[in-house]
C-alpha cells in the first residue's frame, strides 16, 4: 500500500499544484487513498519532494531535481514493480498494464528513470503506452522489465 500511495503522490505533484500537506491529504482522499498527515510527511521525505516557487509566487511540492540518486531510482523501481501487471511489445510500442488508477504513476516513474530508448509515454487509467525509438529498444526494454517484475 505504501508504494502505491507514494506512486500516487508522485503523480499528484506532477499534475496538481500542492502547497501543503493538508492539500495532499485531500487530493489523495479524492482519489480513494486514505492517510494521515504524519504518513504524508514521511512519504514526502522518502520521495525527496521539495517545495519550488511557482510563477504565481506560491510554493508547491515537486520531485527533487537531483538526477540519478540511487535511493530515488530504487524507490521508482519499487513503485513500478508493485503497480504493473504486465508488459507487452508491438513493434516499437510497449504496452504497460497496471492496477486501476496507476498507469500514470507507472509511466511517470519510467520517465523519471530516464531509460534510453523511450521517446515518450501516454497513460490512461490502467494502461500506459511507451513509444520507443525502434523495435530493438522496445524488445530490450521488455526484457529488462520482465526481469524487474520477477
The domain of 144 spans: 78-149
With 70 as the cut, is the pLDDT of residue 109 above it? yes
Q: Are residues 46 and 102 in the same domain?
A: no
- In a shared domain, residues 34 and 93: no
Q: What is the mean pLDDT of residues 88-97?
A: 95
CB 96 within 8 A of CB 129: yes
pTM (two decimals): 0.54
Grid coordinates of 74? 530504487
Asked if the structure places residue 19 within a domain, the reply is: yes
40-49, 80-89, 91-100: range with lowest mean pLDDT: 80-89
Mean pLDDT of 103-120: 80
45 is a domain residue: yes
42 and 102 both lie in a single domain? no
pLDDT score recorded for residue 54? 83
pLDDT exceeds cutoff 60 at 61: yes
In this predicted structure, what is the pLDDT of residue 68? 46
Q: Note whether 53 and 43 are within 8 A (CB).
A: no
DSSP tally for the chain: helices H, then strands E: 6, 6
| Residues 29-41, mean pLDDT to the nearest whole number | 92
- Alpha-carbon gap, residue 89 to 123, rounded angstroms: 16
- 123: phi > 0 → left, psi -120 to 50 → alpha, else beta; which? beta
Q: How many CB atoms lie within 10 A of CB 9?
A: 26
Amino acid at each position: 500500500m505504501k508504494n502505491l500511495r507514494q506512486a500516487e503522490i508522485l503523480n499528484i505533484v506532477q499534475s496538481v499544484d500542492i502547497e501543503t500537506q493538508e492539500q495532499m491529504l485531500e487530493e489523495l482522499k479524492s482519489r480513494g487513498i486514505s492517510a494521515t498527515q504524519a504518513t504524508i510527511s514521511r512519504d514526502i521525505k522518502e520521495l525527496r519532494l521539495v517545495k519550488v516557487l511557482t510563477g504565481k509566487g506560491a510554493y508547491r511540492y515537486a520531485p527533487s531535481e537531483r538526477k540519478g540518486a540511487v535511493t530515488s531510482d530504487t524507490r521508482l523501481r519499487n513503485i513500478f514493480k508493485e503497480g504493473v501487471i504486465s508488459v507487452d511489445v508491438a513493434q516499437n510500442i510497449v504496452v504497460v498494464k497496471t492496477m486501476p488508477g496507476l498507469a500514470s504513476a507507472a509511466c511517470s516513474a519510467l520517465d523519471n528513470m530516464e531509460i534510453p530508448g523511450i521517446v515518450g509515454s501516454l497513460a490512461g487509467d490502467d494502461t500506459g503506452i511507451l513509444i520507443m525509438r525502434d523495435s530493438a529498444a522496445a524488445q530490450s526494454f521488455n526484457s529488462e522489465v520482465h526481469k524487474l517484475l520477477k
